[in-house]
Structure 1
Amino acid sequence: MIKHYQKFILGGLALTAVALNAYIAVPNDPVFNNLDTSVSPGTDFFKYANGGWLKRNPIPAAYSSWGIGNVVSEELRDRLKKINEDALAANASKGTITQKIGDFYFTGLDTVNIEKRGIDPLKEQLALIDEANDINGVLNAAAVLTTTGTRNMIGSRVGQDAKNSSKMMLQLGQAGLGLPNRDYYFKTDARTTKIRTDYTTNHLPAMLKISGYNDDQAKAGAESVYKIEKFLADSSRKLEKLRDPYANYHKMTIAQLNALTPDINWNTVFRSLELKSVDSVIVGQPEYYRALNTALKTFPASDWKAYLRWKLISSYASYLNNAADAESFRFSGKVISGRKEQLPRWKRVLDTENGLMGEALGFLFVKEYFPVTAKQRYTDMVEAIRQAYREHIAKLDWMSPETKQKALVKLNGIHPKVGYPDKWKDFSTLLMDRESYAGNVMRARHWAYMVNINKLGKPVDHTEWGMTPQTYNASYSPSNNEITLPAAQFTIPGVKDSEIDDAVAYGYVAASTIGHEITHGFDDEGRLFDAKGNLKTWWTPTDSVKFTKRANMLADQFSSYVVLDSLHVNGKATLGENIADLGGIVLGIDAFKKTKQYKDGKPINGLTPMQRFFLGYAIGWLGQERDEALANQILTDVHAPGFLRVNGPFSDVPEFYEAFHIKKGDRMWLAPDKRVKIW
């Protein structure tokens, strides 16, 4: 260990001299073991913190990216595999969770039956499409397909009214595209052009042929599909424009909606969507639905049949025969994401099962893998972050007392969901058998659809979770003013929770997860919602101007980062996440400063407590992406690439400069007047 310590010092990190007899050596150290000391922390902190791990862990062929989330997912899959194999062998009574899990897993692995059935599981839906000979028939087919999870030009769901969070309402948003988003139809750079060419000349014809078309029909159908999609894309909003909750809120009566789209009878469409008692709807992007109305008149029924056939086959390709599955992966996996090969089938089946009935798996998962002590540790950490936020608000020099008071009310009202639900979903009405994999997926999708639409007109269920306990992610809900922190999100692979020191835990969890999610309640979008989750003005106009000025500085900072080729980060689209990252870090620092470890100041493996905090945060974004996936992320994702979620906000934080002796001339150094401070 002394040998490693000497190498660590020589690697260019300026540390306070530590006597060897005061040196604490920890072998299973998740931050020390990841270091690349050939990189100076002032040059590229992300590579310094994570470079050792990245060199040892190249991206596997079956993945478009590889990082800590993947490693956690691999551990979780192994655990879920055991749960499924036990269910498979249990011969459980019909209707039990064990029977449903076992039967789903059985059909997913039964490739002989899947291949034998071909596209037969879709025959009823294909027949419905074939009968669509006019606008009403097209809309009816699209609506029915929606109920079993085939996404198409109707983008409907039931969710909370942004201006009355106690009410569940029908929402309509832009939809209908086959490429990842509208920019793929119009950007002319070589990378995007190549993807678009493959889509139109190879992928669409191949999938339509698999759906039952002959060569001529498939070629003509592909042209029809692309014409419709490009027409809809032209009236679809850009990524950054979708982040303005006021601009994407248009409440209408059904009469007003019918007037917006005079060729669409929405009362009839809603019946096909199995909706009851719809008196009003929130339309996110009215111009999209005006364009859809025009498209329904402009393009003949034969074009729409090809479009709906394509939507159906693409939605179910992964659950059908090898021809459909392989072509779907070739385009989505290889061309879009840069993956070289598919995951093993059992992993794909588990991932599908997790998406469809993950909470049923989660119930079994947490009993075995998430101890009560861990739940309590992170529940306490939420309160430590909340207290740090209170103190930050009190000290703000740019916010008025009036807005501060309301901000504290909102902060105190944030409800944390930690680890797993107190009330679990009821899967008793979900039917599973051993007949058909695609059939099981279809029933599960319809079950989930009915769960969603049956919320219409009912009180909001604040006990419901939007994530499963085994999900490596977290979230903030503006309408509920709550954060959701699944059990898996606290996991550092290969290290027991009891072995993680507070410095690392406060960086990895308190800053990058808890502080991040709480700050979302006060980012450029979340701040527009009040303590009860309603879209409502509660800031003074002067405070809003001051906030926006600071937020724009952060947007400009991130827009200056070049990621790949000529692709820059979209600072406006990623602004909410970047505000949350910066807020989480400064809150995590102040919460950590109150811990015994920080006050004792004892280094571990030559790293001071504050250095370990920053390294712990960096673990949260440990990973690397293929160029294809990175390009796709820049165009479609509101999150900046992981390495910039470390290097970007750290350059704004004074404690980072102090901990690692960052000086003028270092690449990580920002001039003091350029450093952003919001919360």
Structure 2
Amino acid sequence: MDPTAEPCQNFYQYACGGWLNRHVIPETSSRYSIFDILRDELEIILKGVLETPGSEDREAFRKAKTLYRSCMNESFIEQRDSLPLLEVLRVAGGWPVASTDWNITKEPNWSLEERLSLLNSRFNSRILIDMSVWHDDQDSSRNIIYIDQPGLGMPSRDYYFNDGNYQRVREAYLQYMITIAKMIREDLKISKDNVLVEEEMKTVLEFETDIANATAPVEERHDVTLLYNKMTIAKLQERFELNGFNWTLFIQGVMSSVNIEINSDEEVVVHGVPYLQELKAILSSYSASTIQNYLVWRLVLDRVSGLSRRFKDARVNYRKAF
């Protein structure tokens, strides 16, 4: 605390000023708190555990140590470079901004519900629509499917609208998107076209900004009782048809990965009603290629930190902007 500060004038300085005066955010971090200190101390202990050989280790310990060694094998990671990411792009249906021939006429099997269910079940990426299974808030003896507004590429919706430091982060985020797209095009031996990449990724950011604008702020979502809207999938389809979006197909696509059959009578809880009410108009305003660009970008965003050094370096300026 900073007892010299007047709490009625600046409560934050009064409550946290002592910490701010005694600590500097390290160059490698975008934040610094007591929890970050505890995490750093724990990682040192964990590093020692994972690097200590043990012939009597349980199977789970051996697997953890094998995974750790594979992640620490820098030469192997550098050697593979972008190959793991290129495989993800292939499975996800391609990245239009890093393709010479992606268009909806050549993708007759492309459908939004199938793309979203694949990303959810295969990659645990809940993009555009957050679908998950959890205890029913009003009946803890059963599990139920929840439909909610999604997370965003940046930490919160504030970064998409406010000026000042938020604008600096937003600009760094866009540059990050452009840089990675250019790198992937280069690896795929696609001719350089900086103008195309910049225009495409600016449109992707505009799309994500519209998505962010449709989401409800955190402060409006504290009362889960008000968020709770139970209905059948048939009713969900009736209320939120999203330009022909097949909710049963989407939900079944996710649940088939655990061999569970879903029909239109299945009950779900919708937490993101205001968001879903806005989503139809947003989807109508953008092309399939822009939507696919965004879906794949979010996949890429989650995986850059596990790639080679040049990808991590591209991430540095974006992280520093925080």
Matched, 1:170 2:145: yes
SS at structure 2 position matched to 1:168: strand
Q: Which amino acid aligns with 1:168?
A: N
Matched, 1:207 2:180: yes
1:104 aligned residue (67, 77, 100)? 67
1:261 aligned residue (240, 246, 253)? 240
- CA drift of 1:210 comes to 3.2
Q: For the residues of structure 2 that align with 1:53 and 1:265, how far apart are their CA atoms?
A: 52
Q: For the residues of structure 1 that align with 2:109 and 2:287, how far apart are their CA atoms?
A: 9
Matched, 1:62 2:28: yes
Partner in structure 1 of residue 307 of structure 2: 320
Q: Which amino acid aligns with 1:285?
A: G
Partner in structure 2 of residue 415 of structure 1: none
> Residues 628-658 of structure 1: CA distance to partner in whole angstroms, max 9, x if unpaired?
xxxxxxxxxxxxxxxxxxxxxxxxxxxxxxx
Partner in structure 2 of residue 282 of structure 1: 269
- CA drift of 1:51 comes to 7.2
Q: For the residues of structure 2 that align with 1:134 and 1:237, how far apart are their CA atoms?
A: 34
Q: Which structure has the larger Rg over C-alpha atoms? A: 1
Partner in structure 2 of residue 196 of structure 1: 170
Partner in structure 2 of residue 78 of structure 1: 44
Q: Which amino acid aligns with 1:206?
A: T
Q: Which amino acid aligns with 2:172?
A: D
Q: Which amino acid aligns with 1:204?
A: M
Mapping for residues 138-177 of structure 1, pairs under 5 Å: 138-147=112-121, 148-175=123-150, 177=152
Q: For the residues of structure 2 that align with 1:176 and 1:50, how far apart are their CA atoms?
A: 29
Matched, 1:295 2:274: no
1:137 aligned residue (111, 120, 135)? 111
Alignment check: 8 A CA contact 1:264 1:293 kept: no
Measured on the aligned residues, the alpha-carbon RMSD in Å equals: 3.1
Instruction: Give unmatched runs, 5+ long, in structure 2.
Output: 95-101, 187-191
- CA drift of 1:155 comes to 0.8
Q: For the residues of structure 1 that align with 2:284 and 2:277, how far apart are their CA atoms?
A: 11
Residue 73 to residue 220, structure 1, CA distance change in 2 (3 Å): same
After TM superposition, the score normalised by the length of structure 2 is 0.79
- CA drift of 1:159 comes to 1.2
Partner in structure 2 of residue 444 of structure 1: none
Mapping for residues 517-532 of structure 1, pairs under 5 Å: none
Partner in structure 1 of residue 97 of structure 2: none
Q: For the residues of structure 1 that align with 2:221 and 2:83, how far apart are their CA atoms?
A: 38
- CA drift of 1:304 comes to 1.7
> Residues 64-86 of structure 1: CA distance to partner in whole angstroms, max 9, x if unpaired?
33343233223212211111112
Residue 220 to residue 272, structure 1, CA distance change in 2 (3 Å): farther
Mapping for residues 162-561 of structure 1, pairs under 5 Å: 162-175=137-150, 177-187=152-162, 189-200=163-174, 202-212=175-185, 214=192, 215-262=194-241, 263-275=244-256, 276-278=260-262, 279-331=266-318, 333-336=319-322
Q: Which amino acid aligns with 1:192?
A: Y
After TM superposition, the score normalised by the length of structure 1 is 0.40
Q: For the residues of structure 1 that align with 2:195 and 2:31, how far apart are their CA atoms?
A: 38
Identical pairs, percent: 26
Residue 52 to residue 186, structure 1, CA distance change in 2 (3 Å): closer
Q: Which amino acid aligns with 1:245?
A: V
Alignment check: 8 A CA contact 1:235 1:287 kept: yes
Q: For the residues of structure 2 that align with 1:159 and 1:329, how far apart are their CA atoms?
A: 36
* Matched pairs, number: 294
SS at structure 2 position matched to 1:66: coil
SS at structure 2 position matched to 1:129: coil
Partner in structure 2 of residue 6 of structure 1: none
Instruction: Give unmatched runs, 5+ long, in structure 1.
Output: 1-34, 337-679
- CA drift of 1:205 comes to 0.9
Q: For the residues of structure 2 that align with 1:311 and 1:179, how far apart are their CA atoms?
A: 10
- CA drift of 1:96 comes to 0.8
Larger deviation, residues 191-200 vs 223-232? 191-200
> Residues 160-198 of structure 1: CA distance to partner in whole angstroms, max 9, x if unpaired?
2122222211111111532222232222x3222232233
Q: For the residues of structure 2 that align with 1:212 and 1:135, how far apart are their CA atoms?
A: 24
Q: Which amino acid aligns with 1:309?
A: V
Partner in structure 2 of residue 592 of structure 1: none
- CA drift of 1:100 comes to 1.1
Residue 217 to residue 309, structure 1, CA distance change in 2 (3 Å): farther
Partner in structure 1 of residue 76 of structure 2: 113
